Amino acid sequence: MNHLRTIGVALSLAISTAATADTITIRYDNPVYTPFAYDAMSLSTNGGASSFSVGAGRHQATVLGTTGALIDSDLVDNASDLFLYCYDLFEYINHGQTVTYTIDYNGPVARTLDFLGAVNYVLNGNTNTWADPYAWLHPTSTQMAAAIQVGIWESLYDASGWNLAGGTFRASGLDSGTGTQWTAFKTAVLNAAVNDLPSGMAMTVVRRGSQDQIIGRRPVDEQELPEPGSLALTGLALLAALALRRREHA
Protein backbone atom coordinates (compact mmCIF):
# COMPACT_ATOMS: atom_id res chain seq x y z
CA MET A 1 0.00 0.00 0.00
CA ASN A 2 2.82 2.43 0.76
CA HIS A 3 4.24 1.80 -2.72
CA LEU A 4 0.88 2.50 -4.34
CA ARG A 5 0.47 5.63 -2.22
CA THR A 6 3.85 6.91 -3.44
CA ILE A 7 2.78 6.35 -7.05
CA GLY A 8 -0.46 8.20 -6.35
CA VAL A 9 1.41 11.19 -4.93
CA ALA A 10 3.72 11.25 -7.97
CA LEU A 11 0.79 11.13 -10.37
CA SER A 12 -0.94 13.94 -8.49
CA LEU A 13 2.22 16.02 -8.79
CA ALA A 14 2.36 15.34 -12.53
CA ILE A 15 -1.27 16.37 -12.95
CA SER A 16 -0.56 19.57 -11.02
CA THR A 17 2.45 20.27 -13.26
CA ALA A 18 0.37 19.68 -16.40
CA ALA A 19 -2.26 22.12 -15.13
CA THR A 20 0.26 24.89 -14.45
CA ALA A 21 -0.48 27.74 -16.84
CA ASP A 22 2.22 29.34 -18.98
CA THR A 23 2.36 33.12 -18.73
CA ILE A 24 3.69 36.12 -20.62
CA THR A 25 4.36 39.49 -19.00
CA ILE A 26 4.18 42.50 -21.30
CA ARG A 27 4.37 46.27 -21.05
CA TYR A 28 2.14 48.11 -23.49
CA ASP A 29 3.73 50.95 -25.44
CA ASN A 30 2.81 54.54 -24.61
CA PRO A 31 0.93 55.30 -26.78
CA VAL A 32 -0.33 51.74 -27.18
CA TYR A 33 -1.31 52.34 -30.82
CA THR A 34 2.19 52.35 -32.32
CA PRO A 35 3.22 53.38 -34.94
CA PHE A 36 -0.31 53.93 -36.25
CA ALA A 37 -3.19 55.78 -34.63
CA TYR A 38 -6.71 54.31 -34.33
CA ASP A 39 -10.07 54.72 -36.01
CA ALA A 40 -12.75 55.93 -33.58
CA MET A 41 -16.09 54.21 -34.14
CA SER A 42 -19.29 53.06 -32.44
CA LEU A 43 -19.89 49.39 -31.65
CA SER A 44 -22.71 47.32 -30.24
CA THR A 45 -22.99 43.69 -29.14
CA ASN A 46 -25.88 41.41 -28.30
CA GLY A 47 -28.00 42.96 -31.02
CA GLY A 48 -27.55 46.45 -29.64
CA ALA A 49 -27.92 45.63 -25.94
CA SER A 50 -24.41 46.93 -25.22
CA SER A 51 -23.18 50.01 -27.08
CA PHE A 52 -19.95 51.96 -26.70
CA SER A 53 -17.37 54.03 -28.54
CA VAL A 54 -13.90 52.58 -29.11
CA GLY A 55 -10.66 53.13 -30.97
CA ALA A 56 -9.95 50.27 -33.36
CA GLY A 57 -6.35 49.48 -34.21
CA ARG A 58 -3.36 47.30 -33.52
CA HIS A 59 -1.56 47.44 -30.18
CA GLN A 60 2.17 47.18 -29.56
CA ALA A 61 4.03 46.02 -26.46
CA THR A 62 7.36 44.81 -25.09
CA VAL A 63 7.73 41.30 -23.65
CA LEU A 64 9.26 41.48 -20.17
CA GLY A 65 9.29 37.73 -19.52
CA THR A 66 7.59 34.37 -19.99
CA THR A 67 7.08 31.18 -18.02
CA GLY A 68 6.54 27.69 -19.41
CA ALA A 69 6.98 26.50 -22.97
CA LEU A 70 6.95 29.85 -24.80
CA ILE A 71 10.40 31.13 -25.77
CA ASP A 72 11.60 34.24 -27.58
CA SER A 73 12.03 32.43 -30.90
CA ASP A 74 8.30 31.62 -30.87
CA LEU A 75 7.50 35.32 -31.14
CA VAL A 76 6.67 36.51 -34.63
CA ASP A 77 8.82 39.65 -34.59
CA ASN A 78 10.81 40.18 -31.39
CA ALA A 79 10.36 40.83 -27.69
CA SER A 80 10.51 44.60 -28.21
CA ASP A 81 7.89 44.57 -30.96
CA LEU A 82 5.00 42.38 -29.85
CA PHE A 83 1.91 43.14 -31.94
CA LEU A 84 -1.54 42.46 -30.53
CA TYR A 85 -5.23 42.91 -31.30
CA CYS A 86 -8.01 43.20 -28.77
CA TYR A 87 -9.92 39.95 -28.22
CA ASP A 88 -12.24 41.20 -25.49
CA LEU A 89 -14.43 44.31 -25.72
CA PHE A 90 -15.52 44.25 -22.07
CA GLU A 91 -12.14 44.80 -20.39
CA TYR A 92 -9.58 47.57 -20.83
CA ILE A 93 -5.85 48.23 -21.00
CA ASN A 94 -3.98 51.49 -20.53
CA HIS A 95 -1.01 53.09 -22.26
CA GLY A 96 2.21 51.91 -20.62
CA GLN A 97 0.43 49.29 -18.47
CA THR A 98 2.26 46.09 -17.46
CA VAL A 99 0.15 42.91 -17.47
CA THR A 100 0.95 39.25 -16.81
CA TYR A 101 -1.31 37.12 -19.01
CA THR A 102 -2.10 33.41 -19.08
CA ILE A 103 -1.33 31.94 -22.50
CA ASP A 104 -4.05 29.97 -24.29
CA TYR A 105 -2.22 27.91 -26.90
CA ASN A 106 -5.54 26.70 -28.34
CA GLY A 107 -5.81 30.11 -29.92
CA PRO A 108 -8.82 31.99 -31.25
CA VAL A 109 -12.14 30.55 -32.42
CA ALA A 110 -12.48 29.08 -35.92
CA ARG A 111 -14.26 32.15 -37.32
CA THR A 112 -11.32 34.32 -36.30
CA LEU A 113 -8.89 31.98 -38.05
CA ASP A 114 -11.15 32.16 -41.09
CA PHE A 115 -11.01 35.94 -41.08
CA LEU A 116 -7.24 36.16 -40.50
CA GLY A 117 -6.69 33.79 -43.40
CA ALA A 118 -8.72 36.19 -45.54
CA VAL A 119 -6.58 39.10 -44.35
CA ASN A 120 -3.44 37.19 -45.30
CA TYR A 121 -4.96 36.40 -48.69
CA VAL A 122 -5.63 40.07 -49.44
CA LEU A 123 -2.40 41.47 -48.03
CA ASN A 124 -0.30 38.92 -49.94
CA GLY A 125 -1.78 39.97 -53.29
CA ASN A 126 -5.02 37.93 -53.35
CA THR A 127 -3.31 34.57 -53.18
CA ASN A 128 -3.14 31.60 -50.84
CA THR A 129 0.65 31.63 -51.29
CA TRP A 130 1.63 33.86 -48.41
CA ALA A 131 5.00 35.58 -48.71
CA ASP A 132 4.26 36.91 -45.22
CA PRO A 133 2.17 34.37 -43.29
CA TYR A 134 1.85 36.93 -40.50
CA ALA A 135 0.66 39.79 -42.71
CA TRP A 136 -2.35 40.20 -40.39
CA LEU A 137 0.11 41.43 -37.75
CA HIS A 138 1.80 43.83 -40.17
CA PRO A 139 -0.74 46.41 -41.40
CA THR A 140 0.72 49.41 -43.19
CA SER A 141 -1.81 52.07 -42.22
CA THR A 142 -4.22 53.09 -39.47
CA GLN A 143 -7.20 52.16 -41.65
CA MET A 144 -5.82 48.70 -42.45
CA ALA A 145 -5.12 48.00 -38.78
CA ALA A 146 -8.61 49.22 -37.84
CA ALA A 147 -10.29 47.00 -40.45
CA ILE A 148 -8.39 43.95 -39.16
CA GLN A 149 -9.42 44.77 -35.60
CA VAL A 150 -13.08 45.24 -36.56
CA GLY A 151 -13.05 41.91 -38.40
CA ILE A 152 -11.58 40.16 -35.37
CA TRP A 153 -14.39 41.55 -33.22
CA GLU A 154 -16.98 40.53 -35.81
CA SER A 155 -15.54 37.01 -35.89
CA LEU A 156 -15.63 36.76 -32.10
CA TYR A 157 -18.99 38.30 -31.28
CA ASP A 158 -21.15 37.26 -34.23
CA ALA A 159 -21.85 33.58 -34.80
CA SER A 160 -22.52 33.85 -38.53
CA GLY A 161 -22.39 36.32 -41.39
CA TRP A 162 -20.00 39.21 -41.93
CA ASN A 163 -22.36 42.18 -41.83
CA LEU A 164 -21.25 45.09 -39.65
CA ALA A 165 -24.63 46.78 -40.05
CA GLY A 166 -26.66 43.91 -38.58
CA GLY A 167 -26.41 40.79 -36.49
CA THR A 168 -25.07 40.28 -32.98
CA PHE A 169 -22.08 42.57 -33.49
CA ARG A 170 -22.38 45.91 -35.27
CA ALA A 171 -19.96 48.71 -36.10
CA SER A 172 -20.61 52.18 -37.48
CA GLY A 173 -18.73 55.42 -38.05
CA LEU A 174 -15.78 53.74 -39.76
CA ASP A 175 -13.33 55.95 -41.63
CA SER A 176 -13.83 55.59 -45.39
CA GLY A 177 -10.40 53.98 -45.75
CA THR A 178 -11.24 51.49 -43.02
CA GLY A 179 -14.47 50.67 -44.82
CA THR A 180 -12.61 50.04 -48.07
CA GLN A 181 -10.18 47.68 -46.36
CA TRP A 182 -13.04 45.90 -44.58
CA THR A 183 -14.84 45.33 -47.88
CA ALA A 184 -11.74 43.67 -49.34
CA PHE A 185 -11.35 41.41 -46.30
CA LYS A 186 -15.07 40.58 -46.27
CA THR A 187 -14.99 39.61 -49.94
CA ALA A 188 -12.09 37.25 -49.25
CA VAL A 189 -13.60 35.67 -46.14
CA LEU A 190 -16.77 34.84 -48.11
CA ASN A 191 -14.65 33.11 -50.77
CA ALA A 192 -14.60 29.38 -49.95
CA ALA A 193 -11.33 28.97 -51.85
CA VAL A 194 -9.42 31.22 -49.43
CA ASN A 195 -7.41 29.33 -46.81
CA ASP A 196 -7.94 29.82 -43.08
CA LEU A 197 -5.03 30.77 -40.85
CA PRO A 198 -3.61 27.56 -39.31
CA SER A 199 -4.49 27.39 -35.62
CA GLY A 200 -0.86 27.07 -34.54
CA MET A 201 -0.02 30.52 -35.92
CA ALA A 202 -2.10 32.47 -33.39
CA MET A 203 -2.79 32.25 -29.69
CA THR A 204 -4.69 34.28 -27.15
CA VAL A 205 -3.55 35.71 -23.84
CA VAL A 206 -6.10 36.20 -21.08
CA ARG A 207 -6.40 37.80 -17.68
CA ARG A 208 -9.45 38.76 -15.70
CA GLY A 209 -9.52 42.52 -15.21
CA SER A 210 -7.41 43.23 -18.29
CA GLN A 211 -8.29 43.15 -21.96
CA ASP A 212 -7.62 39.76 -23.59
CA GLN A 213 -5.47 39.87 -26.71
CA ILE A 214 -4.68 37.79 -29.79
CA ILE A 215 -1.04 37.48 -30.90
CA GLY A 216 0.98 35.45 -33.39
CA ARG A 217 3.23 32.48 -32.73
CA ARG A 218 5.86 30.54 -34.67
CA PRO A 219 6.83 27.88 -35.52
CA VAL A 220 3.57 26.13 -36.34
CA ASP A 221 4.94 22.61 -35.76
CA GLU A 222 5.51 23.27 -32.06
CA GLN A 223 1.75 23.43 -31.55
CA GLU A 224 1.52 19.73 -32.38
CA LEU A 225 3.93 18.66 -29.63
CA PRO A 226 2.59 17.59 -26.20
CA GLU A 227 2.97 20.12 -23.42
CA PRO A 228 5.86 19.36 -21.00
CA GLY A 229 3.41 18.61 -18.21
CA SER A 230 1.61 16.07 -20.38
CA LEU A 231 4.92 14.37 -21.16
CA ALA A 232 5.72 14.21 -17.43
CA LEU A 233 2.31 12.71 -16.70
CA THR A 234 2.73 10.08 -19.41
CA GLY A 235 6.21 9.18 -18.18
CA LEU A 236 5.10 8.76 -14.58
CA ALA A 237 2.14 6.64 -15.65
CA LEU A 238 4.51 4.30 -17.50
CA LEU A 239 6.81 4.10 -14.48
CA ALA A 240 3.82 3.29 -12.27
CA ALA A 241 2.73 0.49 -14.61
CA LEU A 242 6.24 -0.98 -14.67
CA ALA A 243 6.49 -0.82 -10.87
CA LEU A 244 3.19 -2.67 -10.46
CA ARG A 245 4.22 -5.29 -12.98
CA ARG A 246 7.52 -5.92 -11.19
CA ARG A 247 5.70 -6.22 -7.89
CA GLU A 248 3.31 -8.80 -9.30
CA HIS A 249 6.26 -10.92 -10.47
CA ALA A 250 8.32 -10.48 -7.31
pLDDT (tens digit per residue) in 195-223: 999 999 999 999 999 999 999 998 645 43
Range of the domain at 157: 2-248
Q: Which helix (H) or strand (E) holds 142?
A: helix 142-157
- Give pLDDT, residue 229: 45
Confidence at residue 12, expressed as pLDDT on a 0 to 100 scale? 43
3-class SS of residue 28? strand
- The tally of domains found in the chain comes to 1
The model's pLDDT over 19-75, given as tens digits with 9 standing for 90+, comes to 579 999 999 999 999 999 999 999 999 877 789 999 999 999 999 999 999 988 899
Q: What is the pLDDT of residue 221?
A: 56
Question: For residues 77 and 87, what is the distance between their CA atoms, to the nearest angstrom?
Answer: 20
pLDDT at 2: 43
Q: What 8-state DSSP symbol labels residue 78?
A: B
What is the C-alpha separation between 164 and 87, in angstroms, rounded? Answer: 17
Are the CB atoms for 235 and 13 separated by under 8 Å? no
Q: Report pLDDT digits (tens) over 114-142.
A: 999 999 999 999 999 999 999 999 999 99
pTM, two decimals, is: 0.81
In this predicted structure, what is the pLDDT of residue 16?
A: 41
Q: Which of 193, 195, 197 is nearest to 220 (CA)?
A: 197
Give the containing element (helix H, strand E) for 230. helix 228-248
Closest CA to 43 of 56, 57, 29, 60: 56
Q: What integer pLDDT is reported at residue 19 of this predicted model? A: 55
Q: What pLDDT is recorded for position 168?
A: 93
Q: Higher confidence at residue 212 or residue 159?
A: 212
C-beta atoms surrounding 56 within 10 Å: 27
126 neighbors 193 (Cβ within 8 angstroms) = no
Q: Is 178 exposed, middle or buried (0-12, 13-18, 19+ CB in 10 A)?
A: buried
Residue 60: which of 215, 182, 217, 220 has the closest Cα?
215
Average the pLDDT over each of 1-5, 52-56, 154-158, 184-188 and give the range with the smallest value. Answer: 1-5
